[in-house]
Structure 1
Amino acid sequence: MSSLSARLAGWRQTAGLGVARMILYFAAYVGLAWISFIYPARGLNITPWNPQAALAVGLLLWQPRSWWLVWVAVVSGEALVGNEAVPWPAMVLSAGTVTAGYAATAAALRLWIAPKLPVVTRRDVVVFLAVVAGGALLGAVLRAAALWATDVVPAARIPAVIHRAFIGDCVGLVVTLPVLWVLASRERTAATRTMLRAGEAWLIAVVTAVAMLIVFAQPTEEQFKYFYLLFLPVVWAAARFGAIGAVWSAALVQMLLMLAVQTATYQPLTVFELQVLMAALTSTGVLLGATVDEREEAQQALRASLRLAAAGDMAAALAHELNQPLTAMSTYARASQLIARKLGSQPNALVDPLVEVTDKLADEATRAGEVVNRLRKFFRDRSTELQPTDIGQLIVDAVQSQERRAEGLGVNLAWSCDPGLGAVWLDPVQITVVLRNLLANAIDAASADREAAPAQRHVTIRALQEDDQVIVTVVDTARGLNSAEVSRVFESRRSEKPGGMGVGLAISRSIVEAHGGRLWAEAGPGGKFHFSLPVTAGVPT
């Protein structure tokens, strides 16, 4: 018994999953298999829609060593859900080949597509569709071979088995895997919430339902002539909200399609043909959404480059003008320290405070000079001086630098860091600029909320690690941003809040992106700004 427990513990460690997550995955897989078990091919339990395939590929994409859990779930789904008596040897072998197809698909996606890219490109979509189609075809061929080798199907039925297994898995992956891709990212889920707050998104959903009613109100033999009406809301969502809109619009069409099919009488071949159209609809929508995202990203990059070019010229001029005064300020501060220390032998209650103040004056003058020079270099060639840094200490320093100002404005500051957060390779001077800018903006926003009592004005900064990214979040208790403000908050030249939210945020975003990360805002009550930094960026090899 102890040997079995040790083996199970080793499997859990290999898969990177806890017991609760393993049970949740198993239940979700079997549940999706049960929901989607409609119009199976005779004697094979092969259905025209397999969303559980996306769940399996998604798990293998993020946890490659969990293949054994996928295999157990596939076998269980076949045994618990199927209504045809497939022999156990054939079922086990077939599940193994299906799992191999899922693993190959996940490996190809992991190799050719970075699953955490915030912006989807047309190349990503084309590669995704090609990999998914190839993986579904491979799994179908392997499955047909296993069923033939165990005498479940004759050689004459192999093409039909391949065709139906391919369509079921391909549609499940094309429609459902992008939904998992959205849900796996903090930034993309925030974009989804922003989209759902827009009235236009709900109008698209209503149009989708109306189009579905029009299509399925027709006789069965006429429905194909009207199915293309469903392209209209998907294209609308893609053009308005990019790839995120296309993903969710296609998912809505798929759910309504399955609901319509289950409430009427159809021939299995008709359902498979509808699913082929569903795959074409989803591919078209996501490809268009990726084009919209790329165009928007290019426009933002152009606007940002123009602003930063102007800011770079300004920084160079400021650096030239400020270097001498800052150096002189530091020199005078050091001289004041020497004078104060000489007076220290005489009884004077002001000596110690004077030494402390001049120390701070000298330190701040030195820091200001470093910031100006480092920003000048950054604007000139986007250079960063990366070094392993305790980002928790940077946060503490940034909070301490803003404490007196926050106290004077009646705002409470709080911070927290993931206990397991290690050193991150970053430019401490530049990231400090980002932290102080975000904190200053949040304090200004919270203090401007006159309806809230001072005890209710809070600004919180927290840092945690998610996979190979460190996510830093700054939250305030102000009214927050709406979806329109989120889209332009990094572009405004004029401040919309006391303290400014214009060029400072644009510069902060450029600094974070130069580190290989992202800075974004989240719509909703309470201002929420997040930025990510890759843990291993800049690590020498």
Structure 2
Amino acid sequence: MSGVPFHSPEPASEHGLPPLRTAMLFFALYMAFAWISFVHPMRGLNITPWNPQAALAVALLFVKAGAWPVVWMAGACAEAIIGTERLPPAAVIVSTAAMTAGSATIAAGLRRWLGSDFPVIARQSALVFLALAAGGALLAAFLRAGALWAVGVVPFERIPAVVHRAAIGDGVGLVVTLPVLLALASAKLRSLTHSMLRTPECWVIASVTVAAVVSVFHQAPQDQFKYFYVLFVPVVWASTRFGAIGAIWAAALVQALLIAALQFGHYLPLTVFEFQLLVAAFTCTGVLLGAIVDEKQAAEEALRKSLRLAAAGDMAAALAHELNQPLTAMGTYARASQVLARRLGPHDETARGMLEIADKLALEAARAGDMVNRLRRFFRERATDLQVTPLTDLLREAMRSQSARARALRVQLSGTEGDPLPSVLVDPVQISVVLRNLLANAIEAASDPRRPPDAPRWVRLQAHRQGTEVVVTLLDSGEGLTPEQARDIFDAPASSKPGGMGIGLAISRAIVEAHAGRLWAEPGAGGRFHFTIPFDTGAVHDE
């Protein structure tokens, strides 16, 4: 599971308010988080050692920059309803305004420096996130302390203590809770989480975490800090085994258990803040270690992919060398057959049949030779012969090339189009290789002999515009893919097909990416493969 890049939903740049449903859900979660985390507030103020609602606010503002009025209202209601210290209305207004400003600043920093790749696995991005969380929490704490001082709630000499406690509460909430929230919001991270939860080792780590927390808090209060380092063990274990996603959930579990222990125990507020500093320390350690593990795994997978593509290039070169001569001979024999057929005269039915067959043979021999040579050049030189090509023609030709095979296997092959498709700047031979490979795989999946005889057998080729890209989709009635298969199928070490070499999809992805597109598979019932081809709206025309 390690090594799979983290991607969250694309952050929105619009500045309007979120939909009412989203705002109501946010408000309810914010109030719930504020109530759960209201443990040992700072005397005279509603500043607690752990503020997960700060992470919730940043998450909403990261996705919807204009949601700050909703965040401010939720903060004000939490202060007024849940807080035990009844602050003056002016203090509530300025305090929550300062917290909202701090959250908006952190969200803007995340969008600016990490963008849609947050949360991420790279060490540099992990460091940027931790720096933004720490710096943003400190900024929000200064703003809050300054606002409370301005309305006369906090004396000047108490500002450092307020900044210290507020920065710890917000910082721990951001570092521990924000990655969890975005992991839940991302389909890919949810898939990684489900995969992790299905492994026995995950539950062993969770059990060790519970045992570690119990062992620490079973000690006398004065000795608990001495044994707190034991909690590093499950977090480090989860990080090295599952990467950053393991570190995120292990730290969240420790935090939840710690809050429960502190809630039911008798601890001074200062002790709670000290415990939270230790939570922040091992969370940062786990995230950085997980990022290193994931980065290493990603580098290893990229190396394996490169070696596999290099092997495919060598194979293409060898095949081109071996096939050029027989393909040339086939073309020569086909042209000779054409000459002989024409000599028999135009009225001879046998001659007309021979001429038609010879024409097709010559065309297919030339096409095969061109395809092999283009693939050899692509793998050796990454060469693409770009031409403005009607995409509809490529789709129709790919379907024509596979129609006989589909009929032989009793698979219904169909194609649909949305809006009129534009011409695209591509290497038509290479894109044809991608289409034929995907169609051939879909036909094999739909006609798998292991399926019931009465199971549906169909393959659909679809294409539509999406922004400045054309999205081509292959659907089939086969068994489909699990999330793990959808993730690994393009880098599989070997094909599951008898006699297959397991490089067809890897080659297809390399070709699509060379055209600045993307190729991916969706898990679920039935096969679902998609790839995109960008087009320049100023350079191409609609068909």
Shift of 1:174: 0.9
Aligned to 1:3: none
Pick closer, same or farther for the CA change 1:462–1:502 going to 2, 3 Å. Answer: same
Worse-matched range after superposition: 115-124 or 310-319: 115-124
1:186-265 aligned within 5 A: 186-265=187-266
Q: Deviations over 1:254-283 (max 9, x none)?
A: 222223333333322222222211111111
Distance 1:110 1:413, change over 3 A: farther
C-alpha distance in structure 1 between counterparts of 2:152 and 2:420, whole Å: 54
Aligned 1:45-60 pairs, distance under 5 A: 45-60=46-61
Per-residue CA distance 1:107-144 (angstroms, 9 max, x = gap): 22223224337961111111111111111111111111
Gaps of 5+ in 1: 1-10
CA deviation profile, 1:450-502 (whole Å, cap 9, x unmatched):
2433424566777899999969676764385695996587242x432346361
Cα displacement string for residues 416-467 of structure 1 (whole angstroms, at most 9, x for unaligned residues): 8888999988666545534443443344345335243342456677789999
Q: Which digits, 9 at most, give the CA deviation of each residue in 1:385-436, with x for residues without a partner?
A: 6789898987776566545534533556678888899998866654553444
1:148 shift after superposition: 1.0
Call closer, same or farther: CA 1:63–1:481 in 2, change over 3 Å.
closer
Cα pair 2:337 2:354 within 8 Å, conserved: no
Look up the equivalent residue of 1:234 and give its one-letter code. Answer: V
The CA distance in 2 between the partners of 1:519 and 1:103, in whole Å, is 35
Match of 1:8? none
CA contact (8 A) 2:345 2:351 kept: no
Aligned-residue offset at 1:149 = 0.9
Equivalent residue, structure 1, for 2:286: 285
Show the counterpart of 1:505: 505
Q: Name the structure 1 match of 2:8.
A: none
Q: Deviations over 1:135-184 (max 9, x none)?
A: 11111111111111111211122112111211111111111222234344
- Name whichever of 131-140 and 257-266 sits farther off: 257-266
Calculate percent identity across the aligned residue pairs: 54
Aligned partner letter, 2:94: L
Please give the root-mean-square deviation of Cα atoms over the aligned residues, in Å.
4.6
Change (3 A) 1:315 1:216: same
TM-score normalised by structure 2 residue count: 0.79
What's the counterpart of residue 300 of structure 1?
Answer: 301
Task: For 2:337 and 2:201, locate their aligned partners in 1 and report how far apart those are by CA, in whole Å.
Answer: 64
- Stretches of structure 2 that go unaligned for 5 or more consecutive residues are 1-11
**2:97 aligns to what?**
96
Cα distance between partner residues in 2 of 1:480 and 1:316: 32
Partner amino acid, structure 2, of 1:313? D
Greater Rg, structure 1 or structure 2?
Answer: 2
My pick for the range that moved more, 271-280 or 358-367, is: 358-367
Match of 2:380 in 1: 380
**C-alpha distance 329-491 of structure 1, shift in aligned 2 (>3 A):** same
Secondary structure at 1:15 match in 2 = coil
Distance 1:369 1:257 in 2: 67
Q: 1:485 to 1:536 in 2, by over 3 A?
A: closer
Q: Which residue of 2 aligns with 1:73?
A: 74
Q: What amino acid maps onto 2:196 in structure 1?
A: M
Pairs within 5 Å for 1:69-468: 69-116=70-117, 120-322=121-323, 368-369=368-369, 371-384=371-384, 401-411=401-411, 429-448=429-448, 450-456=450-456
Structure 1 residues 9-61: Cα deviation after superposition (integer angstroms, max 9, x where no partner): xx997438434333333333333333333322233222222222222222333
Q: What is aligned with 1:5?
A: none
In 1, Cα distance between equivalents of 2:134 and 2:249? 21
Tell me if the contact between 1:418 and 1:464 (Cα under 8 Å) persists in the aligned partners. Answer: yes
User: Residue type matched to 1:250 in 2?
Assistant: A
Structure 2 residue identity aligned to 1:455: A
Q: CA separation of 1:96/1:473 partners in 2, compared to 1, >3 Å: closer, same or farther? A: farther
Give the whole-Å Cα distance in 2 for the aligned partners of 1:182 and 1:464.
30
Q: More deviation in 358-367 or 39-48? A: 358-367
Shift of 1:284: 1.1
